[in-house]
Structure 1
Amino acid sequence: PPMALHTPLSLLQLFLLCFLFVCSSNPFFFAKSQSLPADVDLLLHKIKPTLQGNTENLLLSSWNITTPLCQWRGLKWVFANGTSLDCEGLSSPQWSNLSLVKDSSLHLLSIQLPSANLSGSIPRELGQLSALQTLYLGVNSLSQGVPLELGYSSSLTDVDLGHNLLSGPLSPSIWNLCDRLVSLRLHGNSLSGSLPEPALPNSTCGNLRVLDLGD
Structure 2
Amino acid sequence: MERIGFLLSITFLLVLQYSSVGTVGVAETNITTDQSALLALKSHITSYPHNILFNWSTTTSVCNWVGVTCGARHLRVASLNLSYMGLTGTIPPHLGNLSFLVELLFINNSFHGTLPKELAYLRRLKLISFRYNNFMGSIPLWFGSFPKLQSIDLRGNQFSGSVPREIRNLTMLKEINLSYNKFNEIPNEIGSLDELEKLYVQSNALKGHVPLGVFNMSSLTNLNLHGNNLSGSLPDNICQQLPSLQELDLGLNQFDGPLPSKLWQCTQLLFLTLEENNFSGSIPRKIGNLTQLREIYLGVNNLTGVID
TM-score, normalising length: structure 1: 0.57
For the structure 1 residues 172 and 105, does the alpha-carbon distance in structure 2 shift closer, same or farther, using more than 3 Å as the test?
Answer: closer
Aligned-pair Cα RMSD in Å: 4.1
1:117 aligns with 2:107: no
1:28-76 CA-to-partner distances (Å, cap 9, x unmatched) read: xxx9xx8656972794488x389x5xx6142678666554323444444
Rounded Cα–Cα distance in structure 2 between residues aligned with 1:180 and 1:105: 21
Structure 2 residue aligned with 1:189, among 168, 181, 184?
A: 181
Letter in 2 for 1:113: F
The aligned length equals: 158
Rounded Cα–Cα distance in structure 2 between residues aligned with 1:105 and 1:165: 26
For the structure 1 residues 86 and 154, does the alpha-carbon distance in structure 2 shift closer, same or farther, using more than 3 Å as the test?
Answer: closer
The percent identity for this pair of structures is: 22
For the structure 1 residues 171 and 117, does the alpha-carbon distance in structure 2 shift closer, same or farther, using more than 3 Å as the test?
Answer: same
Rounded Cα–Cα distance in structure 2 between residues aligned with 1:86 and 1:137: 14
Rounded Cα–Cα distance in structure 2 between residues aligned with 1:146 and 1:137: 12
For residue 114 of structure 1, give the secondary structure of its aligned residue in structure 2: coil
Bigger RCO of structures 1 and 2 (CA < 8 A, at least 6 apart): 1
For the structure 1 residues 61 and 119, does the alpha-carbon distance in structure 2 shift closer, same or farther, using more than 3 Å as the test?
Answer: farther
- What is the 5 A alignment of 1:74-153? 74-78=67-71, 107-153=100-146
For the structure 1 residues 214 and 136, does the alpha-carbon distance in structure 2 shift closer, same or farther, using more than 3 Å as the test?
Answer: same
TM-score, normalising length: structure 2: 0.42
Rounded Cα–Cα distance in structure 2 between residues aligned with 1:173 and 1:68: 38
For residue 152 of structure 2, give the secondary structure of its aligned residue in structure 1: strand
Contact 1:44-1:64 at 8 Å conserved across structures: no
**Number of the residue aligned with 1:23:** none
Distance apart, 1:160 and its partner CA? 0.5
**Number of the residue aligned with 1:208:** 196
Rounded Cα–Cα distance in structure 2 between residues aligned with 1:174 and 1:195: 10
Segments of 5+ residues of structure 2 without an aligned counterpart are 1-24, 81-96, 204-308
Rounded Cα–Cα distance in structure 1 between residues aligned with 2:64 and 2:131: 21
Structure 1 residue aligned with 2:172, among 168, 180, 205?
A: 180
Distance apart, 1:155 and its partner CA? 1.6
Distance apart, 1:83 and its partner CA? 10
Contact 1:176-1:198 at 8 Å conserved across structures: no
Contact 1:76-1:108 at 8 Å conserved across structures: no
Segments of 5+ residues of structure 1 without an aligned counterpart are 1-30, 88-103
Contact 2:128-2:152 at 8 Å conserved across structures: yes
